[in-house]
Amino acid sequence: MSEVIGAVEEAYKAFNADQVVQPDYIGIDLHPPRGDIDFKLGYYKGNEIISMKASSGGFPNNPVTYGVPSGMGTILLFDAQTCALICVMDGSLITGLRTGASGAVSVKALARKNAKKITSIGTGNQARMQIRAINEIMRVEVIHAWDHTPESLAKFKADIEREFGIPVVTAHSKQDAVEQADILITTTRGKGSVVEADWIKPGTHIVAIGTDAKGKQELDPEVFRNAKVVVDSILQCTEKGETQHPLGRNIIAKDGIHAEIGEVLLGTKPGRESDDEITIFDSTGMAIQDNTTSTRIYRNAIERNVGTFFEFIQ
Amino acid sequence: MSEVIGAVEEAYKAFNADQVVQPDYIGIDLHPPRGDIDFKLGYYKGNEIISMKASSGGFPNNPVTYGVPSGMGTILLFDAQTCALICVMDGSLITGLRTGASGAVSVKALARKNAKKITSIGTGNQARMQIRAINEIMRVEVIHAWDHTPESLAKFKADIEREFGIPVVTAHSKQDAVEQADILITTTRGKGSVVEADWIKPGTHIVAIGTDAKGKQELDPEVFRNAKVVVDSILQCTEKGETQHPLGRNIIAKDGIHAEIGEVLLGTKPGRESDDEITIFDSTGMAIQDNTTSTRIYRNAIERNVGTFFEFIQ
């Protein structure tokens, strides 16, 4: 995970240093109860690698009827010198890892230095990934967690306490949990109730992960009114990130977005400037994160002679 | 090849029977002397397979400097029921095969039944693929061939005569070759001189293969004025096929395109209606051809237990 955090930092900086080409993605929507599959392409001039990730999601019948996950991913890497295919790897775990790492990168750049308490709204896989990543870069004193499913909440508490030794307080309400936060992480599916603006205390850093499509929402758009808003990609976040909602209601204007996170990491825009600011990091996920993360995994695999070699061209 | 011809016929019919989803392709243009790589996606409801082909081309330094071809291809197949990845295969040979087959499919649908003489303008790999495919579906009496490189022309003659036993006449001029044609096939890179309209005799069927991008051209646009024009895809051919040129010069209008070839194969539009017609088949190549062809290869491989099995998800 510490390497993934480095890879994601590199990705964000590269994106804002004009080192990245990320065309629009293409996809196929299948007939319900099936979901969709999309293909995201990223070229990074820094490593001369082109990555293509195929990601599917929304196939609820997969586990029981077909014995495969409800969403899957595959990553291809091409050497940009020749466009030869150099690697085929699974993309599901990598998506989880690089998304977890994105929260940690934003915490380094935007959270208060004395932040100790995390609130996790959502207790699924990605909530765990966020904790795993943030735990690499700071000492977490306590996690307040909330989920609308009590079983999921109890399992999250048990798992996190066992894996990381961080005490987890299972909150009685979403409001109770949010009010405790130095760092608030939202990783729900973006289809339930929202976090209300007046629950959030000054100085909170918000990591908004769950909203990655039009119509999804995790935060009351009023949260954005007096917050410092940082996004991974303005293009993506204004369309399908949490930022779509305050923009749509004219709570903020597009030029009210403070920065893309790569600008903060490169030092061309300031990060947090006071202990009272509310900062929001809106993450939709970029192809270049898949590129830098999978390239690092590929290089580690080559170095350690892990994987299977295959000749397509005889 | 006979199976590929069947697969391409199936593809064309499916396309015009509303069984196909083919999103716009995405790609990356690299800095010269490198070329580009693009990703084409096709979903066929008939076989419930989603195909994705990555194709690169235009890397002249690849063979000498890196020991790999100047263009390469990779195809992924996904089971559309679950979106699980089911196959990764090379895509270069398949592209050649399905493009060769497209010419043969058009010959069956549009050439005179008594056609015997083929003229091949261009003598590269794709010219050979065209002969290989057409030789499956009719008796070829003689091939008149022309190329601006005499060595390439001589090698074509030797190879075709040895492989297929069809006599090849190496023409003294492009005009000499074209004037002999019952079936005229153009497979140049579309950057040289064009085939002039008054060289083409009544009754000729033209297979226009080489033009697959804006600016490429193999035929005098006047050829289209009194010809029956059939394309693989109106959307693609009006933009990047041979048909772009007569449209651009108002020699024909868009509604002057007689049919997409799938309509002819399905019987919803007539094919050739007299022995005097000049017919043109403008082929730009569609993702659905890769889909049906690679799916057939995949199924043959499974049946014959050919290939390597791999578990990405443990």
Question: Residues B21, B86: one domain?
Answer: yes
Query: What is the predicted pLDDT for the residue at B308?
Result: 87
pLDDT in tens, chain A (314 residues): 999 999 999 999 999 999 999 999 999 999 999 999 999 999 999 999 999 999 999 999 999 999 999 999 999 999 999 999 999 999 999 999 999 999 999 999 999 999 999 999 999 999 999 999 999 999 999 999 999 999 999 999 999 999 999 999 999 999 999 999 999 999 998 888 899 999 999 999 999 999 999 999 999 999 999 999 999 999 999 999 999 999 999 999 999 999 999 999 999 999 999 999 999 999 999 999 999 999 999 999 999 999 888 887 65
Cβ(A183)–Cβ(A207) below 8 Å:
yes
pLDDT for the residue numbered B309: 87
- Provide the β-strand partners of residue B118: B143, B183
> Cβ contacts (< 8 Å) between A54 and chain B: which residues?
52, 76, 78, 85
Q: Are B185 and B130 in contact (CB under 8 A)?
A: yes
Give the percent of chain B with pLDDT over 90.
94
What does the pLDDT average to over B265-275?
98
Same domain, B127 and B148: yes
Within an 8 Å CB–CB cutoff, is residue A41 touching chain B?
Answer: yes
- For chain B, give the DSSP string: -HHHHHHHHHHHHHHHTT-EE-PPPEEEEPPTT--EEEEEEEEETTTTEEEEEEEEE--TTIIIIISS-SS-EEEEEEETTTTEEEEEEE-HHHHHHHHHHHHHHHHHHHS-TT--EEEEE--SHHHHHHHHHHHHHS---EEEEE-SSHHHHHHHHHHHHHHH---EEEPSSHHHHHHT-SEEEE-S-S-SPPBPGGGSPTT-EEEE-S--STT---B-GGGGTTSEEEES-HHHHHHHSTTHHHHHTTSS-GGG--EEHHHHHHTSS----STT--EEEE----HHHHHHHHHHHHHHHHHHT-S----S--
Please measure the distance between the N-terminal and C-terminal CA atoms of chain B and give it in whole angstroms: 37
| One domain, residues B280 and B300 | no
B60 touches chain A (CB under 8 A): no
The 8-class DSSP code of residue A259 comes to E
Residues A46 and A116 in one domain: no
Average model confidence (pLDDT) across chain B: 96
Q: What is chain B's length?
A: 314
Q: Do B24 and A26 touch (CB under 8 A)?
A: yes
CA-nearest of A232, A201, A223, A238 to A112 is: A201
Asked whether A279 and A272 are in contact (CB, 8 A), the reply is yes
Q: In angstroms, rounded to a whole number, what is the distance separating the alpha carbons of residues B283 and B280? A: 10
ipTM passes above 0.85: yes
- pLDDT reported for residue B192: 80
The C-alpha atoms of residue B260 and residue B241 are separated, in whole angstroms, by 13
> Residue B314: pLDDT above 70?
no
Which of B68, B76, B83 comes nearest A82 by C-beta? B68
In sequence order, which ranges of A221-314 are alpha helices (DSSP H)? Answer: 234-240, 244-248, 261-266, 287-304
A312 interfacial to chain B (CB closer than 8 Å)? yes
Helix (H, G, I), strand (E, B) or coil at A143: strand
A313 belongs to a structural domain: no
Q: Has residue A238 been placed in a domain?
A: yes
Give the pLDDT confidence score for residue A275 in this predicted structure: 97
Q: What is the pLDDT of residue A188?
A: 93
Residue in the structure block whose two tokens are 């083919």: B22
pLDDT band at B73 (very low <50, low <70, confident <90, very high): very high
Burial B24-37 (b: 16+ CB within 10 A, else e): ebbbbebeeebbeb
What CATH number does the domain containing B120 carry? 3.40.50.720
Measure the CA dihedral A169/A170/A176/A180, to 10°.
30
Average pLDDT over residues B174-200: 94
Q: Does B302 touch chain A (CB under 8 A)?
A: no
CA distance B148 to B121: 9
Provide the CATH number for the domain around residue A88. Answer: 3.30.1780.10
Give a yes or no: residue B311 inside a domain. no
Structural domain includes residue A311: no
Contact indicator for B68, B273 with CB cutoff of 8 Å: no
Domain match, A83 and A147 both: no
A135 and A44: one domain? Answer: no
Q: Is residue B136 part of a domain?
A: yes
pLDDT at B166 over 60: yes
Residues B156 and B255 occupy one common structural domain: yes
Query: What pLDDT, on the 0 to 100 scale, is given for residue B191?
Result: 85
Q: Do A72 and B92 touch (CB under 8 A)?
A: no
Work out the end-to-end distance of chain A between its first and last CA atoms, rounded to an integer number of angstroms. 37
Residue B312 domain flag: no
Cβ of B56 within 8 Å of Cβ of A69? The answer is no
A123 touches chain B (CB under 8 A): no
Tokens of A257: 């977005």
Residue the block writes with tokens 């170095």: A303
CA distance B93 to chain A (A): 10
CB atoms < 10 A from the CB of A156, how many? 24
One domain, residues A223 and A275: yes
Give the distance from CA A114 to its chain's centroid: 23
Q: What span, in angstroms and rounded, lies between the C-alpha atoms of B283 and B237?
A: 7
Kindly list the residues from chain A whose CB atom is less than 8 angstroms away from the CB atom of residue B87: none
Q: What residues make up the domain containing A223? A: 101-286
| Same-domain pairing of A50 and A112 | no
CB contact under 8 A, A41 and B28: yes
Lowest pLDDT segment from B11-25, B254-268, B300-314:
B300-314
Do A80 and A197 fall into the same domain? no
Structure tokens, B152: 């390439």
In a domain, B119, yes or no: yes
The answer to whether residue B209 sits within a structural domain is: yes
- Four-CA torsion A56, A58, A63, A66, nearest 10 degrees: -70
What is the total count of domains within chain A? 2
Whether residues B202 and B164 share a domain: the answer is: yes
Residues 6+ apart with CB under 8 A from B244: B211, B214, B237, B238
The average pLDDT across B132-138 equals: 98
Taking the C-alpha atoms of residue A112 and residue A128, their distance in angstroms, rounded to an integer, is: 21
Regarding whether A158 and A299 lie in a shared domain, the answer is: no
As a whole number, mean pLDDT of residues B182-195 equals 92
pLDDT at A314: 52
